[in-house]
Amino acid sequence: MLQSSGSFCSFRRLFVVFFATIFLWILYHQCVTFHLFGSSAPSINAVIAATTTGNYEWAYRLKIPKLVVIPYIANDPSAQYHPPSNKGNEAMIYLSYITAFYDNLPDISIFAHDSENAWHNDIIFGQNLTDTIHSLDLEEVERRGYVNLKVDWQGGCPQWINSSITIDSPNYSELRSEEIYVREMFQNMFPGHDVPEIFGGPCCSQFAATRAAIQKLPKQWYQDRIDWILNTDLPDYISGRLFERMWAYMWIGTANDCPIEYKALCRVFHICFNDQEELDEWNGAAYLSEKGTRDAWADRVTNNHIDDRTEHAVGEMGPWLKRGKDEAVKRGRSKYYRWKIAGDL
């Protein structure tokens, strides 16, 4: 008798614990959902460096809560947002935005060019800026203060600019025509700071930065940079690129900001290959596949020739590429995995 009443009690206890657990589980998930999509989602501006011929409609289709598109039109002084002069390429636009919005910045500002598809974007995203931004981990932007939208090292890493190079150096190359101006530019921007020997970072001047990072420097400082662009005799591609080398130093104090590619891709964009070799292999195949498709198509158009072997090889590669990326995306869903594989960048 006693025994059976005892087991009845423990059954009831189990029952209570069971429902309490379910209740807490639901509560927890409500909180997580609320945190992600509720009032605490960061406010974001997408600052688009555009020209009158550019098409930035894609930016309005971005599916990110609280994102506001701020298009700056370089060559249209009558546009709502425009720089004081069409000089200095995207650098002038980003600086104009910063001075105009300085006291009213959102949590995160994303700085980008107007074209959705360009070599400025990584091949893992099909060079598609929409897909790149959709994968961007906003918490990671908040944590780091500044992240480049490009992961690939080509044309900027692991070391790109040597601030000691002069026009007479044997190592001077027109490929880096801004290199010889970097030292003076840096000294002008940061009087009293030691000039770093090496500057670098993934190319192409598209990145995200937090309000706190941008406001590390006073508004007048940015205004002085605009004045510098207005007064310089350097051509736009050089003045613009000089700034491209400086953003990371301005905002996170790192002159050579070249995180290992597979780690950055994992941590910042949640696509986790197991190591650099695996990512290199995937990128190489994706490049070949794209090139193969293009060549086969050109061959068909110009020579009316169908190269079965190329088409076949490219056809085989498609599923392999898809599987590789799908698996990397799946691994990237795990925060534990992202932290374990990538650590701090």
Ligand X SMILES: *[C@@H]1O[C@H](CO)[C@@H](O)[C@H](O)[C@H]1NC(C)=O
User: What residues make contact with ligand X under the rule CB under 6 A?
Assistant: 116-117, 128, 130-131, 162, 164-165, 169-171, 197-198
> Within 10 A of 266 (CB to CB), how many other CB atoms are there?
28
Nearest CB to ligand X, comparing residues 76 and 290: 290
- Whether 112 contacts 128, CB under 8 Å: no
Q: How far is the CB of 198 from ligand X (least distance, A)?
A: 6
Nearest CB to ligand X, comparing residues 73 and 129: 129
Cite the DSSP H helix spans in 207-307: 211-214, 219-231, 236-244, 247-252, 261-269, 276-303
Q: How far is the CB of 344 from ligand X (least distance, A)?
A: 24
Number of residues in the chain: 345
Distance CA 40, CA 193 (A): 37
Nearest CB to ligand X, comparing residues 123 and 198: 198
Q: How far is the CB of 197 from ligand X (least distance, A)?
A: 6
Q: How far is the CB of 196 from ligand X (least distance, A)?
A: 11
Instruction: Give the residue among 177, 62, 203 at the shortest CA–CA distance from 120.
Output: 203
Q: How far is the CB of 163 from ligand X (least distance, A)?
A: 8
Nearest CB to ligand X, comparing residues 182 and 214: 182
What one-character DSSP code corresponds to residue 194?
Answer: P
Write phi, then psi, for 134 (nearest 5 degrees).
-65, -30
Nearest CB to ligand X, comparing residues 140 and 179: 179
Q: How far is the CB of 129 from ligand X (least distance, A)?
A: 7
DSSP notation for 164-188: T--TTSTT--GGGTTGGGHHHHHHH
**Neighbour-count burial for 110-123, b at 16+ CB within 10 Å, e otherwise:** bbbbbbbeeebbbb
Nearest CB to ligand X, comparing residues 198 and 345: 198
Distance CA 180, CA 39 (A): 48
What does the block give as tokens for 105?
A: 């910045």
